[in-house]
């Protein structure tokens, strides 16, 4: 499903999505295709986001598109 379709079906709401296809461009992941799992009440959106793993995502339909910042984890090693 495309984001424009999701926005029409769930106006001004948080939704839980499964990312089906995306691409990375300039340290940003641009989501192209997704499956809607369910709508999420505003009061529990942060809790649901913290519980989400892998390709699951909580996002608000007020956004024109889904663009996520890709961050690389910094690993510090100590040598003795």
pLDDT (average), residues 45-56: 92
Strand boundaries in 1-80, DSSP class E: 14-25, 28-40, 56-60, 67-69
Q: CA dihedral defined by 48, 38, 54, 5, rounded to 10 degrees?
A: -130
Residue 80 pLDDT class (50, 70, 90 cuts): low
pLDDT value for 54? 87
pLDDT (average), residues 3-15: 96
For residue 59, give the nearest of 31, 24, 78, 26 by alpha carbon.
Answer: 31
The tokens of 39 are what?
A: 């709508």
pLDDT value for 45? 95
Distances (CA, A) of 36 to 1, 17, 58, 79: 8, 5, 10, 46
């Amino acid at each position: 499903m495309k984001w424009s379709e999701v926005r029409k079906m769930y106006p001004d709401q948080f939704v839980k999505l499964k990312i089906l296809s995306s691409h990375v461009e300039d340290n940003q992941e641009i989501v192209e295709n997704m499956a809607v799992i369910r709508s999420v009440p505003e009061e529990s959106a942060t809790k649901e986001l913290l519980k989400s793993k892998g390709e699951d995502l909580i996002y608000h339909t007020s956004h024109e598109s889904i663009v996520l910042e890709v961050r690389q984890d910094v690993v510090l090693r100590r040598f003795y």
